[in-house]
Amino acid sequence: MAVWVTLLRVVTSIAQIGMIISPGPDIFRVHKHKSTGEMAALPLIAMIVNNHLWTLYGYLTDSIFPLMATQLFGELAAIVFTVIYYRWSIDRPALNKLLAWALLAYTVITAYVVLGIARVTNQSDDEVGKTLGYAGIVINLWMYGSPLGTVRHVINTRSAASLPINLSVMMFFTTVLWVAISIVDGDMLIMSLNIAGVVLSIIQITLYIRFRPGQCTMTQEEPLEFADKQIAIVVSPKDGMLHKNPVYQTLASPCGMIMSPGPDIIKVHWNKTTGEMAALPLVSMVVNNYLWTVYAYMTDSTFPLLVTQVIGQTASIVFMVFYYRWTVDHRAVTRLLAGGLAFSLAFTVYVVLGVTGVTNQSDDQVGTTLGYVGLVVNLWMYASPLGTIRHVIRTKSAASLPINISIMMFFSTTLWVALSVVDDDKIIMSLNITGIFLSVTQITVYMRYRPNKSIVAQEDAPVFVDKPISVVISPSSSNQALKSPVYQSFASPIDKTRA
């Protein structure tokens, strides 16, 4: 039971951190476009005050992990988000007013806690914490409901563009987990608060689905009407053309997401092409995670080995499905999958024979043998991103290296080395030391041949040298107005000229 409670706390902490950083993509867009657009400031400011209060509550009630740790991180993140938002906001007076009220609440909360700890209020730490908890319910509800501050605007415009959907979705998952952990801890204060958070987040998600913004929007207050105009665009290179192969020059990720192949698979799905992404790391992940799932079962290593490998196997299968859906070389991927399946069946048969006593081995001996096989498979997975090393050196571009996997592999293998030292598991330790070396090699190669920050969608694209572009708009004598040519193709004047 203690293992599952610990797992619940870890998952809750991860979800809480996910909710904390969920405004990140929106804030990045604000910084990129140098405009806050329709994004509201209230949720960010509410996050600062709310996280500060619950940081103090966690300290007073001796709930250091996960409550105090995650809330302190959230407070710092919210301050950074607000600073960037303030930098590009055009409505400074309204924002200053909100910040002034938030600062007042922040100061009052801090002053009360300091006076309580100093016994000026004649309260114990528990009593101060309980009072702070009741105040926290109000502030937390304010934060959970803050995205609804734009509900009138959403209904009037029939667009939920101003609703921070990332925050709302993460809020839903986080509050559900906090309800579960508060039941375990017997903390009715946290439970009642997060039940309200579940309800409010569901309302926000429902509103977003009902008034989901269009995929393509064109803001044009007073569209111009063209009167029977024809537009000709002529590109005239003087000295000729220089053909240059762009070799999939990729856009460097601004978000720095380093968890698994997920971001790459999302790009594959959005672009409907696998590009230079290799299938080998994904196939090796499926086989590797399956082997270590069986190994963990045989050696009775339920947490963290079995749990993490089951999650990893499920995720890698999902990634593989998306990759297979959009790959153009189905035959090569099918061959890889067939090889992986054959290998998986082989060691599955071995384990079954070992467990039934056919091989005259105990479960521990079967697990040990499986561990040595796992060393080979794991090294295959760790080294699989280097399968494109020849292509990287030839093209001088590391676009085909899955840098997300390599970075995550470095941190993961480092932690597994530490854990294997504690558990005295030499197989896991030696394997992950090699994994550290291979991941560092991959990251070094990526940094040496880092792709440029531009995307060119086609190979062998002609690059024009010293080319003037002339645009000719030729209205006819007619004054009859036509409808706005938004997303309509223009007729070419060439045929009429020839006639």
Rounded mean pLDDT, 423-452: 77
Q: How far is CA 444 from CA 24, 133, 441, in A?
A: 28, 49, 5
62 contacts 10 by C-beta, under 8 angstroms: no
Separation of alpha carbons 213 and 38, rounded Å:
12
The more confident residue out of 16 and 494 is: 16
pLDDT at residue 294 tops 80: yes
Q: Which residues pair with 462 in a beta bridge?
A: 243
The pLDDT score that the predictor gives to residue 95 is: 92
The verdict on pTM exceeding 0.85 is no
pLDDT at residue 251 tops 50: no
Q: With H, G, I as helix, E, B as strand and everything else as coil, classify residue 242.
A: strand
The more confident residue out of 405 and 279 is: 279
Name which of 30, 163, 52 is nearest 102 in CA terms.
Answer: 52
Separation of alpha carbons 66 and 10, rounded Å:
8
Rounded mean pLDDT, 339-354: 86
The pLDDT score that the predictor gives to residue 136 is: 79
Separation of alpha carbons 287 and 82, rounded Å:
44
The pLDDT score that the predictor gives to residue 222 is: 39
Could you tell me the pLDDT band of residue 126, with boundaries at 50, 70 and 90? confident
Rounded mean pLDDT, 146-162: 75
DSSP letters along 447-486, please?
HHTPPPS----STT-EEESS--EEEEEEE-S--------T
Separation of alpha carbons 334 and 285, rounded Å:
16
pLDDT at residue 40 tops 70: yes
φ, ψ (nearest 5 deg) of residue 318: -60, -45
**H or E element, residue 14:** helix 2-21
Q: Which of 2-6, 270-274, 343-347, 429-433 has the lowest mean pLDDT?
A: 2-6
* pLDDT digits 0-9 by tens, 60-74: 888 787 778 888 988
Rounded mean pLDDT, 349-370: 83
The pLDDT score that the predictor gives to residue 344 is: 83
Residue 197 token pair? 């958070």
pLDDT at residue 456 tops 50: no
Contacts of 473 (CB under 8 A, 6+ apart): 229, 230, 231
